[in-house]
Structure 1
Amino acid sequence: MKLRTSPNGQAMPGPTQAFGKEAFEVIDHTEIRWLGNASLLINSRGTNLLIDPILDGFDMPLLIDMPIKSKEIPQVDALLISHIDGDHLSFETLANIKDVTKSYHAPTYVADVMTEAGYPTSEHAVGASFDVADIRITTTPTIHNWQNEMTKPKYTFREWKVEEYVGYWMETSDGTIWLPSDSKLMSEHLEMPEPDVILFDFSDNEWHITYDGAVKLANTYPNAELICIHWGSVDAADWSTFNGNPADLLEDVLNPERVHALAPGEKFVLPKKPNTP
């Protein structure tokens, strides 16, 4: 695990591994790339999913460089947004990839906001399934409507509903990938089939999973690979949302060799299942 430390004491990933159009080409397996914070690219045999991409206009200071410029992205088969928070939805990035994006997917309300902004977005209820080429995607429940506790007018103009935030369960030819997304730990999260990979938020924050909750989730699925996200990217040492340390997990999760603290842009290849061509 190659970690660095920021001047303010935050754990940081290794240096960014830049990539280009080759990451979007047809391949004979499935690759996952963490793009920093909560942004992800999944290439499953040439079908490309981009999840919560923030490659431009991040509204907080960053500790990392982006591994690719948004205007250099050649193809997006489906863009998935989990919720409306500013570290998950960037209209600047969406504008830069609009011409190469085939479809948009988001939960209720978020889909309306995106559609009104010029991005025709399919709305998906919690538990709904849809297909992108040969990938089956199902939304999973979350609890992350923290805005209801705020007092600033930019939050109080409406009631924020639980169903406006989702995770994504993705079934590929090479295995299952689960993004629980930003969420308090729910009983439903502990009753899933065991995924092959969890895109793992371990933020010790009351509107995220909390560290103890993250360990409980990880140990409920002791064979799932854990790709750490939502850490090491934002220069915010006093925000528990952003300053988790993947090395801490090595002490507490079963089979700690499955904890992966990737560098931004570094690829993780799903191991092929037996009898998979």
Structure 2
Amino acid sequence: MSQEMPQEPSASQVIAPNTRMITAEDFTASNRTSIWWLSGAGFLINVRGTLIMIDPVIMMKDGSPSVNELGHRMLVPLPIVAADVPHLDAVLYSHMDNDHLAPDTAAALIRTGGMYGGPAIVVRELARLGVPADQARAFRIGETFRVGNAEIALTRADHAWQISDPEKLGPPYGPEDCCGFLISSPDGVIWYTGDSRLLPEHLEMSGVDLLLLDVSNDPYHFGIENAVKLANHLGDADLIAHHYGTYDAPESLPFNGDPAKLSCGITRSERRFHILAPGERYDLKTTK
């Protein structure tokens, strides 16, 4: 699927590398665990044939080749759209913000047959969007469940951004409303932290082979200093940057990270820190 992109962003922004398209072959069984960045904060993970999407936002606005379902112009094309996803075993959501739980994408992926999972507040929203009750499961922080070849645990996140103005923005997210996902595969351990400020327990984590690293400098995300701190705490983990380079929204701090601002502080960044294009495959390797 080709999409016409805007010729220039409305202001100077870091733009992700040129998109590579995800194909039907990427959804087939293999003898490895592979990861694709979907752009934004979303990922596709194929664990030896077990197919998982995390926080996918992969639909365009009806009739528009360049504006996605959230109303943002895209700086890069999507690597796949929901209609082209053949099958999923799970669709996982870390929290309810629409740049993670996009309503049209969530509804469109029901036909893939995947189990929808996330915190209870997320599952209530999924029900409102039409996800059948028998296709969704709510999990608590620290709970572990299995999907095919993957064992998945919810990790704690702190993303109570509404606290800046609760009267206008609504009640802040509570401690069970946002999460990360720790995914154990036969080929190693992947950690998607979700949107979060740095917590003490994040710095107690170990045994991670691949950290999906949020590079946004928003105060309700890690920010540059703490993202570097977490990356260096997990000094043996490879790193994939996300939460940047996707939306033409220069006024929105969460969308405007810059991986280059982290590289100089990350130990062995030239070997560990991967700046993938949307749709570029990364194969999990436990031998560094």
For normalisation by structure 2, the TM-score amounts to: 0.88
Conserved? CA contact 1:19–1:67, under 8 Å? yes
Matched, 1:149 2:175: no
Say whether the 8 Å CA contact 1:59–1:86 is kept in structure 2: no
What is the CA–CA distance in structure 2 between the aligned matches of 1:97 and 1:171, rounded to whole Å? Answer: 24
Q: Deviations over 1:239-261 (max 9, x none)?
A: 32111111222211001121111
Matched pairs, number: 268
Residues 151-230 of structure 1 mapped to structure 2, 5 A cutoff: 151=166, 155-156=169-170, 158=171, 160-230=173-243
Q: In structure 2, what is the Cα distance between the partners aligned to 1:197 and 1:167?
A: 14
Matched, 1:39 2:42: yes
Deviation of residue 210 (structure 1)?
1.1
1:130 paired with 2:130, answer no
1:149-201 deviation line (CA, Å, top 9, x unaligned): 33565x32x45312100000000000000011100000000001130000100
Check conservation: 1:76, 1:102, Cα contact below 8 A. Answer: yes
Unaligned runs of 5+ in 1: none
Residue 261 of structure 1 is matched in structure 2 by 275
Query: Aligned equivalents of 1:41 and 1:204: distance in 2?
Result: 24
Instruction: Return the offset for 1:59.
Output: 3.0
Query: How far apart, CA to CA, are the structure 1 residues paired with 2:266 and 2:191?
Result: 18
Using the alignment, how far apart are the partners of 2:239 and 2:82 within structure 1?
Answer: 26
Contact conserved, 1:39 with 1:52, CA < 8 A, in 2?
yes
Which whole-Å CA distance do the structure 2 matches of 1:151 and 1:125 have between them? 24
Identical pairs, percent: 34
| Residue 233 (structure 2) pairs with residue 233 (structure 1) | no
SS of 2:254 mapped into structure 1: coil
Would you identify which runs of 4 or more consecutive aligned residues in structure 1 move more than 6 Å? none
Superposition pairs of residues 42-191 of structure 1, within 5 angstroms: 42-56=45-59, 57-119=69-131, 120=133, 121-151=136-166, 155-156=169-170, 158=171, 160-191=173-204
Q: Distance in 1 between matches of 2:172 and 2:280?
A: 39
Distance 2:55 2:282 in 1: 18
AA matched with 2:129: A
Whether the 8 Å contact between 1:49 and 1:79 is mirrored in structure 2 is: yes
Query: Compared with structure 1, are the counterparts of its residues 247 and 98 closer, same or farther at alpha carbon in structure 2 (3 Å cutoff)?
Result: same
Q: Which amino acid aligns with 2:275?
A: A
Whole-Å Cα distance in 2 between the matches of residues 19 and 160 of structure 1? Answer: 33
Note the C-alpha offset of 1:7.
Answer: 5.9
Q: Is the 8 A contact 1:167 1:179 kept in 2?
A: yes
* Cα separation, partners in 2 of 1:7 and 1:149, compared to 1, 3 Å: closer
Q: Distance in 1 between matches of 2:278 and 2:191?
A: 19
Q: How far apart in 1 are the matches of 2:58 and 2:200?
A: 33
Q: Deviations over 1:82-118 (max 9, x none)?
A: 0000100112112222111321101021111212332
Q: What root-mean-square deviation, in Å, do the aligned CA atoms of Structure 1 and Structure 2 show?
A: 1.7
